[in-house]
Amino acid sequence: MTGETSLTTLIRSMTPVLNEGAYVFCSLTDAAQLQGAQALGSFQEREGLTVILQRQQAEHLQLKIDYVAAWLTLEVHSALAAVGLTAAVAGALANAGISCNVIAGYYHDHLFVAHTDGPRALAVLQQLADGAE
């Protein structure tokens, strides 16, 4: 199934959802440090393996926590080649003073904002979708 590429359609039908829980980004020197914990996402960087975990998992593993995030999912199936959705979403959040870290999955885009900003970010994104022409 091919994802959507029309920016107007993507914004209008993005259907943002605020997922439950608190999430953290941690940097590991070795994946073995996960000790069987299931990462929500990961990316290998030169400096180490970045993993996204539920806060409770990171605390249990005694990992360093710098940033606690809320996780929002845009339910629209966006094509990886779509142009402008990340910019539109990040711009709307930036205008509201909300920082945003974006992860693109095969089907959906996932946004991580400061945990305390989760509900406000959801409202900003819903307003963006409602105003799409």
Of 66, 76, 64, 65, residue with least CA distance to 109 = 76
Does residue 16 fall inside a structural domain? yes
Does residue 2 fall inside a structural domain? no
CATH number at residue 76: 3.30.2130.10
pTM exceeds 0.95, yes or no? no
Residues comprising the chain, all counted: 133
Does residue 1 fall inside a structural domain? no
Domain total in the chain: 1
Per-residue pLDDT of the chain (133 residues; tens, 9 = 90+): 689 999 999 999 999 999 999 999 999 988 888 888 889 999 999 999 999 999 999 999 999 999 999 999 999 999 999 999 999 999 999 999 999 999 999 999 999 999 999 999 999 999 999 997 6
Structural domain harbouring 122: 7-130
Does residue 39 fall inside a structural domain? yes
Does residue 73 fall inside a structural domain? yes
Strand spans (E) along 46-108: 48-54, 68-74, 101-104
